[in-house]
Amino acid sequence: MRFTTLSVVLATTPLSLAAPARNGGGHGHHGHKAPGLDDLAKEAGLLYFGTAIDNISLNNTKYLSIAHNTSDFGQITPSNGQKWMYIEPARNVFNYSMGDAIIKPAKKNGQMRRCHTFLWHNQLPDWLTKTNYTKTELIKILENHIKNEATHYKNDCYAWDVVNEAFNDDGTYRKDLWLDTIGPEYIPLAFKFARKYVGRETKLYYNDYGIERVNNKSLAVQAMVQKFLNEDIPIDGVGFQAHFTVGRAPTYDDLRNSMKLFTTKPLELEVALTELDVRIQLPGTEEKLKAQADVYGASVKACMDEEECVGVTVWDFWDPVSWVPDTFPGYGDACLWDKEYKRKPAYFKIAEVLSA
């Protein structure tokens, strides 16, 4: 699963999802302009280098000019716009405006799309969480939701994160609405429903954080995938969210070893880094930014060196809109561009790794 030139990418990717041919032929160098991260990723054999975009940024023209610069970002993920609370705010009432606001411009711009997410324990509407549904009712609701959303975005997505974060760190199932009402079979059911309604070429992913080392959680995901394959449940890939902290991040070897749980026989799935960011304890210093750059570099190199790792997505690229400070008080500056829209050492480190 290694793609060495853009022409190969076009040959192996359905045209509706493929990256566009670049000006100046296969390698995407624009005149004398230095190649961006997506240009370099494709030359290194990856399918894409991408970013998540949130709806709060859509009225910021400076931000959008970076987000839609295909030299840096060949793929886009809506960080919130396709989540349940926005897509189905009332039962069987669907609103695609937030998802469309990110997917449509990316499509028009020739950027691939990773779609996120059909099923998660979080950001659910009250009508879902505040009613006691029976198992049969909730399965119907789940299928109806996936059917409607998948049909709306049919053939728009290179991949869908079908189920997000279903495990605890100790490898047990996360207790939530789905597990409590349906039981563990809600996960394979979601994948079956997804396969039934998404485009034929769309890859189905399980996505989680904390699986970037070989540990109880990653081994539990591996066991689940093995069971899927034994029972003919459709799954194509595993997404490593890769939300890291300077000083506590997995090493290159940690990541490679964990990826191998899924990419080698008998599973042989593809993998991707789906939400990469590297937070630092504030205030930032030159030293911390260098350490951050090293974590970004090692993470991207792990993907580049893993034959079945198809690409890297950063979880937004501009520090002021990162989710990190709200979620981890005292931490921040997790992205590749600083508040002045300047590229940080991490950007150049990634470029160096991809060029090597």
Q: Please, are residues 203 and 270 in contact by the beta-carbon 8 Å criterion? A: yes
Residue 306 a catalytic site member: no
For residues 16 and 21, what is the distance between their CA atoms, to the nearest angstrom?
13
**Nearest CA among 57, 36, 42, 75 for reference residue 336:** 36
Rg (CA), the chain: 19
Instruction: Find the catalytic residue in 88, 165, 212, 308.
Output: 165
Computed from CA positions of residues 316, 253, 229, 208, in that sequence, does the dihedral angle turn out positive or negative?
A: negative
SS3 of 313-330: EECCCEHHHCCHHHHCCC
Token pair for 318: 């501009």
DSSP code string of 282-318: SSP-HHHHHHHHHHHHHHHHHHHHSTTEEEEEES-SB
Query: In degrees, to the nearest 5, what angle opens at C-alpha 183 toward C-alphas 83 and 217?
Result: 70
Token pair for 285: 């210093």
Burial class (CB in 10 A: 0-12, 13-18, 19+), 348: middle
CA atoms within a 13 Å half-sphere pointing along the CA-CB vector of 194: 27
Residue 43 a catalytic site member: no
Residue with tokens 């859509």: 58
The H-assigned helical ranges of the chain are 6-12, 37-43, 61-67, 84-87, 97-108, 126-129, 135-152, 177-181, 186-197, 216-230, 252-263, 286-305, 324-327, 345-355
Alpha-carbon 232 to chain mean position: 24
Instruction: Find the catalytic residue in 88, 212, 270, 275.
Output: 275
β-bridge mates for residue 311, sequence order: 48
- The amino acid at residue 107 is K
Q: Which residues contact 68 (CB under 8 A, 6 or more apart)?
A: 105, 106, 109, 111
Residues belonging to the active site: 165, 275
